[in-house]
Structure 1
Amino acid sequence: MKKITHNKKSIQFFCLLILSSIFLLSHTAHSLHTDEERAILNKKKQEDETANNDPAARRKDALLRSLARKQSNDLDGSAVMRLASMASRYEKQPCTGDMIDEKEEPDNTNPVGLVGYLPERYRTFVKKVRGEIDITDVQKRFLAYGPTKVGKTASIRAIVQEDPTNTTLVECEASQLLGETDAQTFKNIDKLFASARKAGGKDRKVIIFVPNLHHLNSVAHRDEVRKAPLEYLEIRLNEMEKKDKNIFFVGEVRDISQLPSNFLHQFDASAITYYPLPDAQSRCEMLAYQFLKYHFGGAYISRANLRTYLNGTEGMSHGDLESVRRDSVLQAQRYNNGDISPEIVLQVIKLTKEKNKEVVKNKKETSALSDFVFHFTREVIIPNLSISNIAMALWYWQSFRNAVNEGGRPVMTTQATDTSGL
């Protein structure tokens, strides 16, 4: 009997392994960069990290943001849009990083590298951390929610990047706090707060940052008593706010409805803020900032360019716009001697939209496929092990794949792209 049970488990594991392998192979990452492209991106990343600690570079970044704001100013106004066909000479004048006026007062409204709209409640939280607001009897917590790639994580990390000598970030994914049991999860939460106290000091501020807070759920099995890790987290937050004046807490989630209402009710309304997709003004400002900062060769950006890009980037997030800049740089390096032309940017915008549609489709497919594997294992493999059933399930899976896939993956080309639909 033990041998039969062992063989059943082996066959079940083998079947699931086959399904998982097919699924992973079908989702091969087509967007992986070559070694040369990764070297370019890593070099730029290292330059950014160095600039964060260089006062002169930080001032130049602020001046770049000021120039980007001037270039994008009023571009989303209806009056300006109506006069698009009567663009002035200033509209078409190239704008480069050399136009920075070193004597000008730089834009310091946003942290380094962050442009466009930031929620007012975020700015209030930053003032709490900086000590610009009296935090006596005030909550030292903050909950950020909104679509992916709109700057939630970047804005929290920027608080520390702005003042690394007096601020420390203790970041831990919610899923990393989960243990084998709920009791172990509670211990991991205790360790998180203990590490924050250890990282702090007399005047040093510490921010505990937990992305994807909705993943902090009970791991108890059906026959075990379920405990609520979020309720335990709330207890520790209350203790923190009473005893630890220099420790702050930030949670991040995409959809606020993923968190239980009794947990949300413990937050003041001013401590919960929504990060929306960037509006037209923010998109213009970010594109101007990105291309001014990362210009290659004779690359430039003008208000006329921004107006064209504005129509094509509606609905895109900050992360999408960063991808547009990054991929435009790579395509310019590869095919146009480093010059970023408007045609290249428009082509990348179009392909980024196509890629986003595919990502959404793959997410739906992944969710449906995971449900299928679960029910297939429970209803087919375990009660009735047979080669015919396994073959039937694999055929069904492939048919499902063919039904979901409505088109091919976008492929970058060097030909001019028709931008009339943008």
Structure 2
Amino acid sequence: MKTQFSYQMRRKQIIALLISSLFLLSLQITFHFYKNQFSKSSENIENLTFAPTEKTQKSITPFNPNDLHIEDWEDLGFSEKQASTILKYKDLVGGNFVSKNQLKKCYAISEEKFKELEAFILLENKEPKEESSHSKIAKNLNINRKFDPDKLSQQDWQNMGFSEKQAAAILKYKNYLGGSFVSKEKLKDCFIINDEQFSQMKPYLLLPEKTPENFKAFTQTKKEIKYKNFDPNLLEIDDWEKLGFSDKQAQVIVNYREKNLKGSFRSLEDFKSCFVISEEKFNDLKAYIILNPNNFKTTNSEKIIVKQETDFSKLDLNKITFKQLIEFGFDEKAAGSFIGFRKKLGGFMNTQQMLDTYNIDKDLMQKLINTCKFSTDDVQKHTLVEAPEEWLKNHPYFKYSADKIIFYRTTYPNDEKIWKFLKLKPEYETRMRWYTK
């Protein structure tokens, strides 16, 4: 009887153990199944979370660099000096950028900045077969001996096969580096010299292959010179040498004054434009420059213009015409920049905008400002809520925030709330508020 009871107890224990094992196994299978499902969901969530959103790309909109004004480059994060350099570079390569690669060669645009902008640039990646003017020079350069590029004059570069403007730009690039090309690497970086031309030069170059690790541009040491007031229209070659220029640089300055400027520097901008005078050197000299009109050489064409027919004291600066600007003394390039910038803005709101216009002679502009009337009554203004989309997207001060404004005002039709959401730099918001009601 006891044995039978013991057997029945063991049997029940075994059955209970089997049931417990089956239950634990089913729990483990269920847990494994749900774990896999959760893992897949997490991957999907992760993918959704870190995918690039439209918002991050809307801070910069697609653009054609050939359409940008100096203020537009500043809006993209460049300094005024960098923006000015980019525009000068555009002129040197023929007036238009033909490819992203060509734009990338501008030394004012760092590699990091170019990568940031590249996806938004409306240009091809590769240069077409018919490239811009700087690459149309003779494919076979005239080189027959080894040479030190640091010792070449503008004429030497022209004799090699480069145009006058291209040779001037190469020398300006050398000045930017501090007066020496330093290495073959640095010479190759010069945007005027394309890869094919550099390949022809390379075997003949008397330069180190690599750039020293501690190299920095503008490291040229300055000789201590005691400057005195001077009129650049009265100086000869030896006088320029006393100011710290080499014999060849002095010759170039005199030739530039006599041939390019018809005998006279008439403004500081004229003086600054001479390519052998670096930005640093110009800043050293400008406080001592005296431009006496009595020393200007008068050309035959200037003798014909003896009077102004327009009474400029009655003109409004927001209505002055291209012809009237020419009559006042501006050249066509400056007058065109003034009219073009005013048209894009819909009118100037303050005189500083006029002085900041690209290509403008600031001294002559200040004289015009002091002479003319200035009214902002007819300048077009809008609220952020009601501004036409086309106006927002084309106005120099609003176009990079246009998409955000259009998006926010659909939900928040209130100007002050939109201003808060935009989170602009104070200087950008100030400029935009000039044109809002």
The two structures have a TM-score, normalised by structure 1, of 0.23
Structure with greater contact order relative to length (CA < 8 Å, sep ≥ 6) = 1
Question: By percentage of residues, which structure has more strand?
Answer: 1
Q: Which has the larger radius of gyration?
A: 2
The two structures have a TM-score, normalised by structure 2, of 0.22
